[in-house]
Structure 1
Amino acid sequence: MCAVLLGCAGGEANTICESTPGMEVFCGFQNPEDLALSPDGKTLIVSQAARTDGTGGGGLVAFTPESGGPTPLFPLENATPGPGDWGSAQCPGPPGTAFSPHGINLGRGPDGSWMLLAVNHGGRESIEFFEVLPSSEKLALRWRGCVPAPEGANLNDVLILPEGGFLTTHMFPASGTAGTALQILRMIAFETKLGRVLEWQPETGFSDVPGTEASFPNGLEISDDGSTLYLNVYMGDEVRAIRLDTGETVFSAEVESPDNATWSSDGRLLVASHPGSFLETLACTSIESGSCIRPFQIVAIDAETGISEVVIDSDGTPMGAGTVALQVGDDVWIGSFIGDRIGRAPLPH
């Protein structure tokens, strides 16, 4: 893809797994793009995307600092899937070994049990449903169903709605490598609004969410009362607050290339941001090992006013290309769409 787009140079890799005073790193991962926290608050659930060279799929893994490394959750050999009763009746069955998760979200399932949703690009474009199994020993997941994406969809993040169903970001139409490159160039040059947010409900299927047309919609979050959607517009350099009942924009906060969003303990949004050129970020896909030395920021945004401040400003070492910041205690855990590590850094107060 990078070669198609103006022949951009390859990304610079840091292959040394060594922490710095400002960030502790934990290695042994594969493209840990998104993070969620287990219901008991003790374990990270990590979405590992497939290898960029196409030689293997991805998966969901569990991690605690004491574990020494990631523990596979899905797929597992000889695992017994659930009955497939969550999601859509059109789900053809569990995903295969090509499973490649992207955005993930933890919430309550149809029967009140804990559920993890994952965007999947491997083998099919879909939202996969997993039950989080209660256990006193270790975290476990069981596949329970899926929702196949609409034809031509190219999904990124997913968000469980408080009253059921989910929202997902459709970045731009899927059209192969050359077609995707052309669409990205259009978004870079003209901020062409090729994407939007989709809502899925069991009774009605997919529908467009008003007010969400955007140039490369990325991460999502929602207010506690379910009234306001926060949409990260990657190619539009904005975080947009939208009233779900009317589609009205409440505010637009300027943030360079905002990726995923999470809630901080003080009620602000924590948004991973990639200052600079999109081609710099895309060049990271060429690294073969280690972490891409791509600067990133974590931006905190007031959910009522849109006022923002940079709370972490990283030069890309000891890990770079941060895509998510998840607060746990006084620290944030940081994932990346590319590379072999996650980071932990103190969150300034």
Structure 2
Amino acid sequence: MKRYLFVALLLCGCVDESARITHCDSVGDKQPLCGWQSPEDMELLADGKTLMVSEMEQNHGEVYGHLSLLHVDTDRRQKLSHSVVEGEELWGDKSCSQPPGDYLAPHGIHLSTRADGRQQLLVVNHSEREAIEFYEVLSEESGYRITWKGCAEAPAGSFLNDVVALPDGGFVATHMFDKPDAQVGTMSWKEGLALIGLNPGYLLHWQDGKFSQVEGYSSDYPNGIQISADGRYLFINAWAASTVTKFDWHNRQLVSEAEVQHPDNSQWGDNGKLLIASHDFSVGDLRLCLSDGTKACPGKFSVVELDPETMQSRELLEQHGAPMGAGTVIQEVGETWYIGSFIGDRMLKVTHP
């Protein structure tokens, strides 16, 4: 009943403008880094001081998304453009030979090292095609650049969120729900069904040019996904179900499950535990956020640490309101957390406990 009420209230009612965040000032030790566009996901590059950031599209594609860099020594943002090297072997489907063009709509991203030592970036893309884009990340004297290396177009009706590379060259992506085909305000009716448990999502496995649905896992609104260093275990966050599932990839079976309130993305901390962005939005906050995607969202979130062995969790930080709410990903760099968001013009920089 609570889920039905949440969706009903989200689709109607007024917006409390007094809660809107209008400044870019620090609050205590929480420093906003403004000038970004919905920095939903990020990965730490090999130098340990540069973040690859996925900046999502805004207003359903009216404003394109970007892949950008954050140089943590200066907090400088650098927007990237991708190149295409003719004649090089592509890493995706043979049928995908054309890059996405100017219109890129990135969502979840994942950085990995291929068998030959080259750096691979997988990007969920919602632009003209629903696909996983392959990029090679190259480090040169002048800095980092990326080269497009192909794509894998998802099956019809897919709506992906996040992706992880597998050691054998394939990948697993989270499929949230059937792709929306009609909007009701800021939400499709199919997304509304997903939020109340009537349109479950699942995992999609891609290998050697073929997609298949992963047996043994289905849940409400699968969101972020991570993989253990040895490639054996997947950790899948189901936002609407408020669960994190540990899934044995070798045996294709569920190992255990932890309760984490509305988990978004996960990243590995330096101590080998998962750092998870956990949401506790009020309907008012969420309506305010969705009413103007260019502004910072005050929605309450927590940083939750999850032990991958015991599946026990603990809350490390709670944040609500200015200078930024609605955190989606926590990337640890030394003593600092960089926290992204699915909406707004900023990320958050915090000295972690």
Is the 8 Å Cα contact of residues 171 and 217 (structure 1) preserved in structure 2? yes
1:234 aligned residue: 239
* 3-state SS in 2 of match to 1:176: coil
Distance (Å, rounded) in 2 between the aligned partners of 1:53 and 1:183: 16
* 3-state SS in 1 of match to 2:188: helix
| Per-residue deviation, 1:347 | 2.1
Question: Does the C-alpha gap of structure 1 residues 138 and 10 become closer, same or farther in structure 2, counting only changes over 3 Å?
Answer: farther
| Per-residue deviation, 1:91 | 0.8
Distance (Å, rounded) in 1 between the aligned partners of 2:284 and 2:251: 35
Matches within 5 A, 1:1-349: 6-10=11-15, 12-52=19-59, 54-67=61-74, 69-75=76-82, 79-81=83-85, 83=88, 85-109=90-114, 111-178=116-183, 181-189=188-196, 191-192=197-198, 194-202=200-208, 205-277=210-282, 280-281=285-286, 283-287=288-292, 289-348=294-353
Question: Does the C-alpha gap of structure 1 residues 55 and 300 become closer, same or farther in structure 2, counting only changes over 3 Å?
Answer: same
Question: Does the C-alpha gap of structure 1 residues 30 and 81 become closer, same or farther in structure 2, counting only changes over 3 Å?
Answer: farther
Question: Does the C-alpha gap of structure 1 residues 277 and 16 become closer, same or farther in structure 2, counting only changes over 3 Å?
Answer: closer
* Aligned partner letter, 1:59: H
* Aligned partner letter, 1:27: C
Structure 2 unaligned regions, length at least 5: 1-6
Provide the alpha-carbon RMSD of the alignment: 2.3
- Tell me the TM-score normalized by structure 2: 0.90
| Matched residue count | 342
- Tell me the TM-score normalized by structure 1: 0.91
* 3-state SS in 2 of match to 1:17: coil
Question: Does the C-alpha gap of structure 1 residues 282 and 112 become closer, same or farther in structure 2, counting only changes over 3 Å?
Answer: farther
Q: Bigger shift: 8-17 or 215-224? A: 8-17
Q: Bigger shift: 10-19 or 208-217? A: 10-19
* 3-state SS in 1 of match to 2:216: coil
Higher strand share: 2
| Per-residue deviation, 1:256 | 1.1
- Deviation track 1:44-101 (CA, whole Å, cap 9, x = no partner) reads 11100111264221110011144453111135xxx44554611111114010222110
Structure 1 unaligned regions, length at least 5: none
Q: Bigger shift: 134-143 or 120-129? A: 134-143
Distance (Å, rounded) in 1 between the aligned partners of 2:9 and 2:294: 22
| Per-residue deviation, 1:173 | 0.6
Question: Does the C-alpha gap of structure 1 residues 162 and 17 become closer, same or farther in structure 2, counting only changes over 3 Å?
Answer: same
- Deviation track 1:2-33 (CA, whole Å, cap 9, x = no partner) reads 99953254474312111122312111100100
* Aligned partner letter, 1:94: P
Identity %: 38
Distance (Å, rounded) in 1 between the aligned partners of 2:211 and 2:27: 45
